[in-house]
Amino acid sequence: MSARRKTDEGSVVVVGLGRFGCHLSGALTALNHEVLAIDRNPDQVQRWSAQLDRVVQADATEEGALRQLGVADFGRAVVAIGASVEASVLTVLALADLGVPQIWARATSTKHAKILDSVGAHHVVFPEAETGERVAHLIVSRMLDFIEFGDDFAIAKVCTPETMIGRPLGELTPTERYGVRVVGVKLPGERFRYATDATVVAPGSMLIVEGDIGQVQRFAELS
């Protein structure tokens, strides 16, 4: 392994500066990761050159172009292309041929995902579908925020039901009564902290609870 590979393990190549790619690049930069953003559209490159550290116009489907940019020395790459399935697949293939250790790719359909996986993508994501499902749950429930891990487990932020105010969690036994476990509490004016049986919930508090999605949603309705 080259010395550059060792120093660039925390760096990320992002290919495609559409909405997903540009927001991803900005978030990675905010997390203090070096980002090399690549797009074949000169207008997109010009638009984001002032906001991102390194933005390059290139055809990422060409392995030679990626090699010249030093992409082979990066530890992770994200193919954020959504408009062209062909360009997405060819880019993943080029990155795989370069031996990039971790390749993430955006898919727009199940068929697209299967192709990306077959040509070398290590992780395939569906940002539009995942966001749509998450927002749908928030719209039709009283959860303030949530993350779902499969069909049988979720973590959510909810308002505290009035029936729980002023009593310690050990006495309330939310796991037995509602099927959820309270793992965190945010008291008014304070930061989130881990919940214990001795935690007394004050008016205006928010809770972090875990359980299956149905139980979590039903618990949120109590607030």
Q: What is the pLDDT of residues 155-206, one digit of tens each?
A: 999 999 988 999 899 998 999 889 999 999 998 888 899 999 998 888 889 9
Residues 117 and 20 in one domain: yes
148-156, Cβ contacts within 8 angstroms, sequence gap of 24 or more = 148/213, 151/212, 151/213, 152/212, 152/213, 153/210, 153/211, 153/212, 153/213, 154/210, 154/211, 154/212, 154/213, 154/216, 155/183, 155/208, 155/209, 155/210, 155/216, 156/208, 156/209, 156/210, 156/216, 156/220
Q: Which of 79, 106, 125 is the last residue of a domain?
A: 125
Which residues form the domain of 83? 3-125
Residues 83 and 148 in one domain: no
pLDDT at 56: 95
The residue behind tokens 């299967």 is 114
Residues 172 and 158 in one domain: yes
pLDDT band with cut points at 50, 70 and 90 for residue 9: low
Q: What average pLDDT score do residues 92-113 get?
A: 94
Query: Which CATH number is 208's domain given?
Result: 3.30.70.1450
pLDDT band with cut points at 50, 70 and 90 for residue 4: very low
Q: Which of 125, 148, 166 is the last residue of a domain?
A: 125
Residues 17 and 95 in one domain: yes
Residues 116 and 28 in one domain: yes
Q: Which of 105, 125, 145 is the last residue of a domain?
A: 125
Amino acid at 79: V
DSSP code of residue 9? T
Burial class of residue 140 in the structure, from the number of CB atoms within 10 Å of its CB (0-12 exposed, 13-18 middle, 19+ buried) = exposed
Residues 82 and 140 in one domain: no
Burial class of residue 130 in the structure, from the number of CB atoms within 10 Å of its CB (0-12 exposed, 13-18 middle, 19+ buried) = exposed
What proportions of the chain, in percent to the nearest 5, are helix, strand and coil? 40, 25, 35
Residues 138 and 116 in one domain: no
User: Do the Cβ atoms of 60 and 92 come closer than 8 Å?
Assistant: no
- Residue 218 CA neighbour count, 13 Å, CB half: 11
Residues contacting residue 110 through CB under 8 Å, at least 6 positions apart? none
pLDDT at 6: 40
Highest mean pLDDT (candidates 4-8, 154-158, 213-217): 154-158
Lowest mean pLDDT among 2-16, 47-61, 73-87: 2-16
Lowest mean pLDDT among 57-66, 83-92, 199-208: 199-208
| Tally of domains in the chain | 2
pLDDT at 87: 95
Query: Which CATH number is 86's domain given?
Result: 3.40.50.720
Greater confidence, 43 or 139?
Answer: 43
pLDDT at 153: 86
How distant, in Å, are the alpha carbons of 15, 108, 183, 184 from that of 156?
32, 27, 10, 10
pLDDT at 2: 38
